[in-house]
Amino acid sequence: MNADGSTPWRSAEDRDAERQSKREAVLTTAVRFFNARGFHATNLDDVARRLKVTKPTIYHYFSSKEEILFECVRRGLAAIRDVAETAQAAGGRGADRLEALMREYALVMTRDFGMCVSRTPDAQLGPESRRKFRALKRDIHAILQGVIADGMADGSLRPGNPLLAANTVAGALNWVAIWYDPKGRMSPEDIADGMVATLMSGLKDTTP
Amino acid sequence: MNADGSTPWRSAEDRDAERQSKREAVLTTAVRFFNARGFHATNLDDVARRLKVTKPTIYHYFSSKEEILFECVRRGLAAIRDVAETAQAAGGRGADRLEALMREYALVMTRDFGMCVSRTPDAQLGPESRRKFRALKRDIHAILQGVIADGMADGSLRPGNPLLAANTVAGALNWVAIWYDPKGRMSPEDIADGMVATLMSGLKDTTP
DNA sequence: TTTTCTCTATACTCACCGGTAACAACCTGT
DNA sequence: ACAGGTTGTTACCGGTGAGTATAGAGAAAA
């Protein structure tokens, strides 16, 4: 028996969990390199060195460099899709759901996997992954556009072109991933709240 | 004498002009590859083949692949800076100057060199070029932020955080370079006008 | 005419990096 | 004890692509 009452032999679950946590470590290390240097400029030897292992070790957990990138963007997109679906399903008028969606979207873009989505051009992936990547982005865009269209229909949003409005919103939010600096003055919440307010109310002053 | 009354021997100016036009051809061909595939995924042999020459020929006009990229982003940034400075110097209240700036900025982002700016991360360039690249972007951002601050001060824009507002605007506009499709339904002018209206007036409906 | 300069091609070097082969150490279950 | 799976290593392969050495053709200058 061990000091803490457990055996020194790890169970199958323990080993499986350890494997998962190592996979995880590869992903979080790699995504930071990708975000800092770009996919092509990142080499797996550097990632491996940072993890204090060698390159072939990484290949025990992923079958290719691209699979690592794809898993990163998949996670980022999953996070965005979650916030989009949650907001879409929430009650209230279109404007309220849009506000919630934008706020949470902005927060995701300040985190590693979210940043990776915005910084990864489709062309960076092979044909198969690119197809999936685009499909996921289309889904999210459809939800965003749908919520905006709902708001325009229920009178809570100014009438207009929902596609263009969605692209404007997506642009402002995705760009957060480019300029956000964790060491900067603005917290993710500051950014999210301020950006939502600006996009909803506009820049122009409307006081009489 | 030639049929058109000129000599078959080209003057020094003609030869110089020809050289410039060849340099130009390299740039416009390269920038399209960069925009379509990304800098690292573009190889100069493909660019050369498209121009019906070979790679060493390109090296008679540019000293490195990076110099080509830098010249592309330099042109894009120059175009943006021009519209920013013109708008800044124009008369009128902050809101009016901001509107003009945003509209012209959006138009630049639908063109090759403008797109290249938004699609090129700093990390893609070497230390020296990166320094210049960032400095130019900072200048433009300062103008944008300044115009917004002016508008907030003169009462034409809603009071708020000029930095955050500038980032929101820049994000929406820069993102145009990612999704704009020349073969799509929306013309650059449609996009520019619609986006300016959305950003200025906001998404929320404010009719009583 | 001869020399020189500009432009272009052929044919190459060389470094980098994604990916693999082979093997060793170590658990774990039989 | 032993077989088999997992995890890691060292040492390597092979493709790719930036950049270059060299030479030749043609125009321009001397």
Predicted pLDDT of residue A5:
45
Helix (H) or strand (E) holding A192: helix A188-201
Residue A179: per-residue pLDDT: 98
Residue type at A128 in one-letter notation: E
Residues 186-205, chain B: which have Cβ within 8 Å of A?
186, 190-191, 194-195, 197-205
Residues with Cβ < 8 Å from A78, sequence gap 6 or more? Answer: none
How confident is residue B3, by pLDDT bands cut at 50, 70 and 90?
Answer: very low
Q: Please provide the DSSP assignment of A73-114 as one string.
A: HHHHHHHHHHHHHHHHHS-S-HHHHHHHHHHHHHHHTTSHHH
Provide, rounded to the nearest whole percent, the portion of chain A with pLDDT above 70: 93
More confidently predicted of B136 and A1: B136
Instruction: Give the pLDDT score at B16.
Output: 78
- Residue B91: pLDDT band with limits 50, 70, 90: confident
Does at least one atom of strand D sit less than 7 Å from the CB of B203?
no
Please report where in the chains the tokens 């865009």 appear, as a residue: A141
Q: Which residues of chain A have pLDDT under 50?
A: 1-5
- Give the closest residue to D19 (Cα–C1′): B64
| N-to-C CA span, chain A | 78
Residue B7 is predicted with a pLDDT of 54
- Asked if B101 is an interface residue toward chain A (Cβ–Cβ < 8 A), one would say no
- The single-letter DSSP state of residue A43 is -
Burial A82-109 (b: 16+ CB within 10 A, else e): ebbeebbeeeeebbebbbbbbbbbbbbb
pLDDT at B9 over 60: no
Contact between chains at B206 and A204 (C-beta distance less than 8 A): no
Residue of A8 and B168 predicted with greater confidence: B168
Looking at residue A8, its pLDDT comes to 56
In this prediction, residue B2 carries a pLDDT of 40
Interface residue B84 vs chain A (CB under 8 A): no
Encoding tokens for residue A4? 């803490």
CB nearest B121 (choices: A38, A156, A172): A38
Predicted confidence band of residue B1 (pLDDT cuts 50, 70, 90) = very low
